[in-house]
Amino acid sequence: MIGTAEAMSQRTTGKSGPEGTRPGTADTSWLDEVAWDAAGLVPAIAQDADSGDILMVAWMNREALAETLATGRAVYWSRSRARLWRKGEESGHVQTVREVRLDCDADVVLLRVEQRGGIACHTGRRSCFFRRFADGRWEVVDPVLKDPESIYR
């Protein structure tokens, strides 16, 4: 879990007690504050908690966000597989969540994470943002750290 119930309560609402109930408990009204899209999803940005680098962007539904906050491990919604995706379930590249934030419009979630194994991208790179636009084209600027064939068997 991300902190104690009391600490989470105070961080998310500034007070303890019923209005500051910890995510993951019976009261899930805090989920209603998120501006879910028509498909019941919200974009989630995974950011390295130490460096501030953006690692990846994925989608979350209510269940994924609730499980993430209850367990302290990043869980996303896989649109291609139409199921929960517990980051690292196949690769071992788990994201331990240090902090969760909601943007000003309540329509984007930010996860500040510790990336196990140093690889967040299915291409075997540290970040999914490994291409930079320069001189009218996209160029690869970050190396493959591990061959994806050896990660996903």
Contact 102, 119 (CB under 8 A): no
Q: How confident is residue 2, by pLDDT bands cut at 50, 70 and 90?
A: low
pLDDT at residue 27, as a whole number: 84
The burial class, CB within 10 Å (0-12 / 13-18 / 19+), for 4 is exposed
Contact 43, 109 (CB under 8 A): yes
Tokens of 21: 């109930």
User: What are residue 95's DSSP bridge partners?
Assistant: 115
> pLDDT per residue over 12-70, tens digit each?
434 333 333 455 556 889 999 999 999 999 999 999 999 999 999 999 999 999 999 99
> pLDDT per residue over 76-132, tens digit each?
999 999 999 999 999 999 999 999 999 999 999 999 999 999 999 999 999 999 999
Contact 109, 65 (CB under 8 A): yes
